[in-house]
Structure 1
Amino acid sequence: MAEREKEECKCKHNECHCECDEECKCGGECDCGENCTCETHCECEECHCDEECECHNKEQEYLNLARQIQADFENYRRHAVEDKNKARIIGQISVIEAFLPCLDTFKEAKKSIIDENVLKGVEMIENKILDALASVGVEKMKTIGEKFDHNKHEAIAQFADESKDNEIILDEYQSGYIFNDKVIRYAKVIVNKRGNE
């Protein structure tokens, strides 16, 4: 424990001037000294400087401890909020990933539907699901006609089309999705690879 430098004591414990010890005017045969009341009326005070210094140090120590506890609690609360947010995001991603195969089924089903009215109905249901996912931050990747990006796309095949730029996506095998700027599924695509490049 750090000790405060002791300052010069300003207490009045040395200021008592008892006059009872002066020469007795009775000739020494009286009991004046026994009747002295100086201790009762003396204005001098006992010095408590050391005790006050120790109390001040303890007060500072407890104050520092309280500040440390408060800082630790703030850190705990911040980490608890972060952990809660991470857990919520992980839960959302799990639900989203469970829906993705359903969307893949819609894509495959549309290829075999001949009736236009049925096709419109299936597309309407598909779009409703996509809108619901978009409302929570899920975005379907744009692929066909876009330049290949290895951060979002997975090339499963290459074809040469001289009429299109190199590295342009020609077709999509499986859709990719982004959730809050994070890829939750890469798009599987077919990429243009011209022979002379």
Structure 2
Amino acid sequence: MTETAKNTTEEEMHDASPAEQVAAEEAAQEDVAQDQAEAAKTPDDVIAALQAENAELKDRLLRTAAEAENIRRRAKKDVEDSANYAITKFARDLLDVSDNLRRALEAVGDGAQQNEAMKTLIEGVEMTERTLLKSFEQNGIEKLEPLGEKLDPNKHQAVFEMPSTEHPDGHVAQVMQAGYVLKGRLLRPAMVGVAKGGNATPDANDEPGSNVDTSA
């Protein structure tokens, strides 16, 4: 330190308040201690410090790369989901059309087949239904008709319980409305009646709670 700088520092210290003087002295002592510590480092200490710094930087790089990969995967999945399920709303609207076609066919009495005009109309409705279901299949829409299956809350909506001698307790004894899935994702649950109090023997693999999805 030059004589002029030293005199300037002494003048500043003289003009400073006691608290400022203490803080300045402590800062000066820390600088001296840091300089001494740097001077006391051996080459091994320097190498160890550089290795530790390198390891930290490598860890940060790996974390950044992993985060970037996760973002890329999420973006890819979002794009795939957008492509796969873009027709969800349109598909749900078409389900009502399918339901109405099925109701029309079920409402036809046996005598209608004796009338040629009605027979032709029925065949036309059946053909329309088959065409619609084929279009559903081509677009990944699958119909669920779970009669006789064990109740699955993830796919079926139980509307009522009913006695049944044909189906074990907890199984679907009647399908009120078919369900649909779109490429594995539930589009609409099947509305069903569930057997209860019947005499049918349950399957050996049916255990209490086995129809509950525990993957969540």
TM (normalized to structure 1)? Answer: 0.57
User: Aligned pair 1:100/2:103, yes or no?
Assistant: no
2:106 is matched with which residue? 111
Three-state SS of the structure 2 residue aligned to 1:191 is: strand
1:41-120 pair list within 5 angstroms: 71=65, 77-113=72-108, 114=112, 115-120=118-123
Quick one: structure 1 residues 152 and 73, their matched pair in 2 at CA, closer, same or farther if it must change by over 3 Å? closer
Are 2:127 and 1:124 equivalent residues in the alignment?
A: yes
Q: Size of the alignment, in residue pairs?
A: 145
Structure 1 position 77, deviation (Å): 4.9
* One-letter identity of the residue aligned with 1:181: G
Distance 1:145 1:195 in 2: 13
- Which is further off, 109-118 or 182-191? 109-118
Query: What residue in structure 1 maps to residue 196 of structure 2?
Result: 193
How far did residue 188 of structure 1 move?
Answer: 0.1
Structure 2 SS opposite 1:150: coil
CA RMSD after TM alignment: 3.7
CA 1:98/1:77 → structure 2, altered by over 3 Å: closer, same or farther?
same
Q: Shift of the alpha carbon at 1:142?
A: 2.4
Partner of 1:175: 178
Mapped partners of 2:106, 2:151: distance in 1:
25
Q: Which has the higher helix share?
A: 2
Residue aligning to 1:133: 136
Change (3 A) 1:91 1:162: same
Aligned mates of 1:126, 1:142 — CA distance in 2: 15
Share of identical aligned residues, percent?
A: 28
Task: Tell me which structure has the larger Cα radius of gyration.
Answer: 1
User: TM-score by structure 2 length?
Assistant: 0.52
Aligned partner of 1:45 in structure 2 is none
1:159 is displaced (CA, Å) by 1.3
